[in-house]
Amino acid sequence: MWNGCLCLQCIREKEVGVVEDLGQFKRLVGEGPSCILWPLQSVTGRLSLRVQQLDVLCETKTKDNVFVQVGVAVQYRVVTESAYDAWYRLTSPTSQIQAYVFDVIRSTIPRMELDQAFESKDDIAHSVLESLQQVMKDYGYSIVNTLVTDLAPDTKVKASMNEINAARRLKEAASHQAEADKVRQVKAAEADAEARYLSGLGVARQRKAIVKGLQASVSEFSSEVEGADPKDVMDILLLSQYFDTLSTVGANSLILEHDPATVANLQQQVGVSFMAKRQDLLS
């Protein structure tokens, strides 16, 4: 005579229970209370239906012989309808996933150079995703996403890459600095040329004004003083300019040789030039 009883088993939310009858699969039970015939039947396993993540770290080398550590995050979950396969067909789903990740990474990265590997992280993750989805589907698992979370070469390689990058940036900075110096020198030369041009214009205008002033002074003096001719006026003006020049030279503590003949010669030359200019204006 057999004695048995109904036993109430509770399955948590987002889980599925595997019920066996004397070691043989009987059915799957969902979340909530379920009745089983104890001791012939029992809940031998529980599978979580939540998304889980497996972090895989794989070491391989690139096409240019640089060893790198590749970190891959695999997000997966159990398919409710295929919970039987997930429980009975795989002993360790994490080991299976890890093996396929190693296979894809070590067959993909060696075909790329280091810089290309950094640029192709999305392509690597997509290759891992496609490979795992095809394989794990038969075992009752759905691969939600795969992410390449890290791609780290050796420390010495990192330092070398940083030095190369720093040298390139220093070269660019030196080129820009040289270009800036060139522009600065060109602009300074243009400014100096413009300043000299304007200074020449100023000197020319100054001399023109002086000549006009002298002409006006000679004309007024000749018209107002009877018996005075232009030569007398020029002598007076030249003598005044001469004494002004001596005052300026004396104020700057300079010692110059003085010869009265020099003054007379200067007076003669300026007088001739002034009279010639005056005749041109009158004609």
Average pLDDT, stretch 59-85? Answer: 87
Q: Are residues 94 and 128 in the same domain?
A: yes
Residues 79, 149 within the same domain:
yes
φ and ψ at residue 11, rounded to 5 degrees: -105, 130
Number of domains in the chain: 3
**136: CATH:** 3.30.479.30
Residue 99 scores a pLDDT above 70: yes
pLDDT of residue 166: 76
For 4-30, what is each residue's pLDDT tens digit?
577 777 778 888 888 878 877 787 887
H or E segment to which residue 160 belongs:
helix 155-224
Question: Domain residues for 25?
Answer: 5-48
Is residue 35 in some structural domain?
yes
Task: Look at residue 185 and tell me if it is in a domain.
Answer: no
Do residue 144 and residue 62 come from a single domain? yes
Q: Is the pLDDT of residue 255 over 60?
A: no
* Mean pLDDT along residues 98-117: 88
pLDDT of residue 73: 92
Look up the pTM and report it. Answer: 0.53
Please name which of 25, 22, 16 lies closest in space to residue 37, comparing C-alpha atoms: 22
Helix/strand/coil percent split, the chain, to 5: 60, 25, 15
| 39 and 121 belong to one structural domain | no
pLDDT digits (tens, 9 = 90+) for 205-231: 877 777 677 667 667 666 666 665 666
pLDDT at 1: 45
Q: DSSP string covering 108-159, please?
A: HGGGS-HHHHHHTHHHHHHHHHHHHHHHHGGGTEEEEEEEEEEEEE-HHHHH
